[in-house]
Structure 1
Amino acid sequence: MVKGKSDHSMFYKWSKTGIIWLVVYVDDIVITGNDTEGILSLKSFLHSQFQTKDLGPLKYFLGIEVMKSKTGKLGTKPCNTPMIPNLQLTKEGELFEDPERYRRLVGKLNYLTVTRPDIAYPIGQAPKDRRSTTGYCVFFGGNLVSWKSKKQSVVSRSSAESEYRAMAQSTSEVMWIHNLLYESGFKAPIPAKLWCDNQSALHIASNPVFHEQTMHIEIDCHFVREKIQQGLIST
């Protein structure tokens, strides 16, 4: 099998009848693909070499429960974000008596956001620190495949800068997914469409000239413009 360059925990193999994917994390393995005979042969090989057990169809992986259903998007119900709108959190009162327990609880909540996009935003909130929140959703073939809501690591000097940083992180995620699909043998349509509701950030991304308004933005954010010029992203 070939080790993925975009994701080192993923291995894949093409055959005459299809493709096999193997994802491994420590001692947990997920195998999928459309080459049925190849999958059976791979499972037999792993059992002979490492005494692995076949637990059947995927139900749990890394503590995440997996369920299959035929319900389409039209059959789903909207879910409200469990947070009061425009709530300002402040530091007040006594410190928590068990900080280690607090950190464990926050860590578990962060892990839950892997499968619960509805709680991603409130978990990322903290007492007011003047840092903006980056939030994005990535769709492929009409399906939500990736999302994020996280405080930015720096304080932006303008709303355009904070929005542009969010565009940069979104572009990084889109390019990673594109490379992952490409090396697996799938051609994702390009350019990928990047949506943003800030006109200033859109102008910065499309303007090849560095002007006064972009002097304070780090160079690493401007790779959005590079991907647009390469035709891989369009805004």
Structure 2
Amino acid sequence: MAQFLARQEAFATEISLQRATMERQQREIDEQVQRMIQREQEADWRHQEAAVALEAATQLARANAEAVAQAMMEAQAKAAGMRDHTSKADSSTFIYRSGALMLIVLIYVDDIIITGSTSAVISDLIGYLRTKFAVKNLGSLHYFLGLQVSRSAHGMHLSHTKYIRDLLTKTGLLESKPIPTPIALGSLSIHDGDLLPDATSYRSIIGALQFCTFTRPDISYSVNKLYQFMHSPTTVHLQAAKRVMRYLKGTPHLGLFIQPDTISQLHCFTDADWASCPDDRRSTSVYCVFLGLNLLSWSSSKQKVVSRSSTESEYRALANGASEVSWLETLLTELGFRVSSPSMLHCDNISTLHLASNPVLHARTKHVEIDCHFVRERVNRGSIRLEFTPSSDQLANCLTKPLVVSRFHDLRTKLNVLPCPLS
């Protein structure tokens, strides 16, 4: 009887210990949930503050643009024959034209770039603006919103060298070991690694890297991929972001090189990586648009819907490229640049080219959204022409997926991401 009571007491003690352990674990889970809710609320507050700041900056930019537009209209009244208008392709650009004379004004909040056909007409406009605003003339364009502009006998070099070095210092990676590519081979998933206790540093790094992509198309794919994890970044995603920083550590001097060229035809290279995202199986679509030898526009983004075939994903990328070409044609025409027609769209998928140019195959493509057939309409009008380009010559490849070092460096050079040439 005594042994039975002892066993019962031991059993009761064990049950009590297990209950206490379970209660402690439940409290820890509740605390973790509360911390996660608190972090999400803090993130929402930061997003709301950022949205308010962005709206204020937008309103300021709009007010400045309207004020400058009014000043230019007054200047127009003083100069017979001068006429100006806001660009239809870019609302922050104002074009001022009279015969052979031309002025172009680009406004971003309270920063303005002015260029024109002669130095005298630029000086006249600056002088007139000084009568209306407190204007500080910084001379020839060398630095604008973190963007460095270097000129030489060979052309113009756009870079973020100082911005990158400041970013490396801010993140404590200035003395890190450089690495030859911005992203490792393989794919990243939302389930990789453990959630970061505080995602502020990760979001700050990715936001800064987004700004670097304005002159560094070689990191567009990496930054776009990492941007997809902004809502719940993990330790693996943070390491991937630091890898991009280490890549920039070894290449801060690289930037987009623009050189004089006589070719006036647009060439757009489009590509897609079908079902590349392991989390939702959406594809990645990219395009690169060249005017002659110079890269004008590029994009690497995840498609908004799931494509049921590689042909469909390539077709969506082709439609995005055609839309960008159409916008650039409008902008260049407004700037007085005559673009040779038709523009060329290069694709490495033969089936996609057949779908875009052969209406007989329409019954097989009903699952493709109607807006993708924008490409076919442009082909029928003769404004664009499609051309098959082998994968070995596909310049957009480095914006689609991770590549080995040799292939990545080769395509990076062909995208005109180069060091600043000597004068």
The answer to whether residue 125 in structure 2 is matched with residue 42 in structure 1 is: yes
Normalised to the residue count of structure 1, the TM-score between the two structures is 0.90
The answer to whether residue 108 in structure 2 is matched with residue 25 in structure 1 is: yes
Shift, 1:197, TM fit: 0.4
1:128 alignment partner AA: P
CA deviation profile, 1:195-215 (whole Å, cap 9, x unmatched): 000111111111224533311
Identity of aligned residues (%): 49
Normalised to the residue count of structure 2, the TM-score between the two structures is 0.51
Of 369, 379, 394, the match for 1:228 = 379
Shift, 1:150, TM fit: 1.5
The answer to whether residue 357 in structure 2 is matched with residue 185 in structure 1 is: no
2:196 alignment partner AA: F
The answer to whether residue 192 in structure 2 is matched with residue 109 in structure 1 is: no
Shift, 1:83, TM fit: 2.3
1:116 alignment partner AA: R
| Native 8 Å contact 2:347 2:353 kept in 1 | yes
Aligned to 1:77: none
1:234 alignment partner AA: R
CA RMSD, 1 decimal: 1.9
| SS at 1:148 equivalent | strand
Aligned to 2:187: 88
Using the TM superposition, name which of 98-107 and 47-56 deviates more.
Answer: 98-107
Instruction: State the distance in 1 between where 2:201 and 2:182 align.
Output: 22
The answer to whether residue 104 in structure 2 is matched with residue 5 in structure 1 is: no
Structure 2: state its 5+ residue gaps. Answer: 1-83, 157-179, 227-276, 387-423
1:166 alignment partner AA: A
**Higher helix fraction (1 or 2):** 2
Using the TM superposition, name which of 190-199 and 29-38 deviates more.
Answer: 29-38
The answer to whether residue 319 in structure 2 is matched with residue 219 in structure 1 is: no
CA deviation profile, 1:100-145 (whole Å, cap 9, x unmatched): 3322221221221111011111222256231211111111132111
| Native 8 Å contact 1:19 1:34 kept in 2 | yes
| Native 8 Å contact 1:167 1:224 kept in 2 | yes
Instruction: State the distance in 1 between where 2:325 and 2:352 align.
Output: 18
With a CA cutoff of 8 Å and minimum separation of 6, indicate the structure with the bigger relative contact order: 2
Aligned to 2:282: 131
CA deviation profile, 1:154-182 (whole Å, cap 9, x unmatched): 21111111111111111111111100111
Shift >3 Å, 4+ stretches: 70-73
Instruction: State the distance in 2 between where 1:172 and 1:92 align.
Output: 35
| SS at 2:103 equivalent | strand
Instruction: State the distance in 1 between where 2:210 and 2:94 align.
Output: 27
| Native 8 Å contact 1:21 1:33 kept in 2 | yes
Of 311, 321, 328, the match for 1:160 = 311
| Native 8 Å contact 1:17 1:35 kept in 2 | no
2:188 alignment partner AA: L
Instruction: State the distance in 2 between where 1:12 and 1:160 align.
Output: 41
1:221 alignment partner AA: C
Of 137, 140, 148, the match for 2:299 = 148
Aligned to 1:170: 321
Number of aligned residue pairs: 228
Aligned to 2:402: none
The answer to whether residue 250 in structure 2 is matched with residue 99 in structure 1 is: no
| Native 8 Å contact 1:81 1:118 kept in 2 | no
1:218 alignment partner AA: E
Instruction: State the distance in 2 between where 1:49 and 1:82 align.
Output: 47
2:96 alignment partner AA: K
| Native 8 Å contact 2:345 2:385 kept in 1 | yes
Shift, 1:94, TM fit: 1.7
CA deviation profile, 1:55-86 (whole Å, cap 9, x unmatched): 1111222221222233469xxxxxx642233x
Aligned to 2:230: none
Using the TM superposition, name which of 160-169 and 10-19 deviates more.
Answer: 10-19
Instruction: State the distance in 2 between where 1:17 and 1:180 align.
Output: 19
| Native 8 Å contact 2:355 2:362 kept in 1 | no
Structure 1: state its 5+ residue gaps. Answer: 74-79
Instruction: State the distance in 2 between where 1:107 and 1:213 align.
Output: 41
Check 1:171–1:124 CA distance in 2 against 1; reply closer, same or farther (3 A cut).
same
